[in-house]
């Protein structure tokens, strides 16, 4: 599945709305995990604002991983757990040209 990063907003800690502020710790965590070769995006507005996700995009390959933090109005418990982070890292290291979606039922 391809993620359209034009539908997301580039993460900027000084430009967060009230709902995004609730998830700031997760955006910041991803910044510490992924280096300057990656960009962090925020996705809102899907399904009448019932979803919120963070995207990690490899600047060189343009391959991304989209991780849901809220799905169907329900916040996902521990959305960036070790397994999710490991799957994201493995996806980038695999050379796969497809985007990956995580935490979606």
Let me know: does 38 contact 57? Beta carbons within 8 Å. yes
Q: Which residue has the tokens 């709305």?
A: 17
Give the pLDDT of residue 46. 74
Give the pLDDT of residue 11. 97
As a whole number of angstroms, the distance between CA 43 and CA 11 comes to 10
Give the pLDDT of residue 49. 75
According to DSSP, the residues that pair with 40 across neighbouring strands are 56
As a whole number of angstroms, the distance between CA 20 and CA 11 comes to 10
When divided into structural domains, the chain yields a total of 1
Share of the chain above pLDDT 70, in %: 94
As a whole number of angstroms, the distance between CA 5 and CA 2 comes to 9
Domain hosting residue 48, numbered range = 5-102
């Amino acid at each position: 599945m391809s993620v359209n990063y034009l539908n997301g907003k580039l993460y900027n800690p000084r430009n967060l709305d009230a709902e995004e502020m609730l998830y700031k710790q997760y955006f910041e965590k991803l910044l510490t995990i992924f280096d300057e070769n990656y960009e962090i995006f925020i996705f809102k507005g899907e399904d009448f604002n019932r979803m919120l996700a963070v995207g990690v995009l490899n600047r060189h390959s343009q391959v991304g991983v989209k991780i849901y933090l809220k799905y169907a109005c329900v916040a996902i418990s521990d959305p960036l757990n070790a397994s999710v982070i490991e799957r994201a890292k493995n996806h980038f290291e695999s050379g796969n040209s497809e985007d990956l979606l995580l935490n979606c039922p």
